[in-house]
Amino acid sequence: MIVSVIAFSACNNSSNKSAETQSAKTDSGTTAQTKSAVPANTEATVSIKEIVTAYLQLKNAFTKDDTNDAAAAGSSLEAAFKTFDKTGLTANQKKTFEDVEDDAGEHAEHIGKSGGNIAHQREHFEMLSKDMYDLVKAFGAGQVLYKDFCPMYNNNKGAFWISETKEIKNPYLGKAMPTCGTMKEELK
């Protein structure tokens, strides 16, 4: 089902045009379009896009060593978790989501409140990234994402993050080591 959601949203842009022209042609065509769009819409409520967007914003603030932007993005991420509409979720999905939310929401809140202490914000970002990975794996992001790994962070213990670009931009070491890291997995 997740695959179909991704497939649907991925094809959405390209198929929109033809759908419009099709529905413009006949009235019956329009009804058919609306009908087929209904299940797709209910599935679209499972979209974690806002959460993903806020996370990526946070990640990008860290690549620039910007603690205040990171704090702002942390707060938007916290809000995105809080406002997420769970009504469309199955019992299992809800359980998965809440398990992640319980932890990730706290990290996001903490990052939001820790402006000025980027080292501490990054400690929480590391845990948050694990949560986000599990969330994206479970629900799909609606866009291609990459799991990147930085082997040097945290005294060479290493840590990973999720990125929207193939190019490496390290959020843990920031401007000091912007290209440190490798792509480990493509998340479709």
Partner 1 sequence: MSRIKKIGLSILVVFSAIQFMQPVRNKSVGLSATDISKVLNIPDSVQAILGNACFDCHSNNTNYPWYVNIQPMGWLMTKHIRQGKAALNFSEFGSYSARRRQSKLKSIADQISDGDMPLSSYIWMHKKAKLTNDEKGLIINWVQRSKDILSIKKLKE
Which residues contact partner 1 (rule: CB under 8 A)? 99-100, 102-103, 106-107, 119-120, 123-124, 126-127, 131
* Distance of closest approach, residue 9 Cβ to partner 1, in angstroms: 27
* Distance of closest approach, residue 79 Cβ to partner 1, in angstroms: 19
Is there a contact between 62 and 121 (Cβ–Cβ < 8 Å)?
yes
> For residues 38 and 119, which CB has a smaller minimum distance to partner 1 in the complex?
119
Is there a contact between 172 and 161 (Cβ–Cβ < 8 Å)?
yes
Is there a contact between 83 and 53 (Cβ–Cβ < 8 Å)?
no
> For residues 17 and 157, which CB has a smaller minimum distance to partner 1 in the complex?
157
Chain CA centroid to CA 144, Å: 10
> For residues 6 and 109, which CB has a smaller minimum distance to partner 1 in the complex?
109
- Cα(128)–Cα(142) distance, integer angstroms: 19
* Distance of closest approach, residue 75 Cβ to partner 1, in angstroms: 18
> For residues 70 and 168, which CB has a smaller minimum distance to partner 1 in the complex?
70
- Cα(13)–Cα(53) distance, integer angstroms: 18
Angle at 60 between CA 178 and CA 126, to 5 degrees: 80
* Distance of closest approach, residue 77 Cβ to partner 1, in angstroms: 15
> For residues 105 and 142, which CB has a smaller minimum distance to partner 1 in the complex?
105
* Distance of closest approach, residue 165 Cβ to partner 1, in angstroms: 27
Amino acid at 45: T
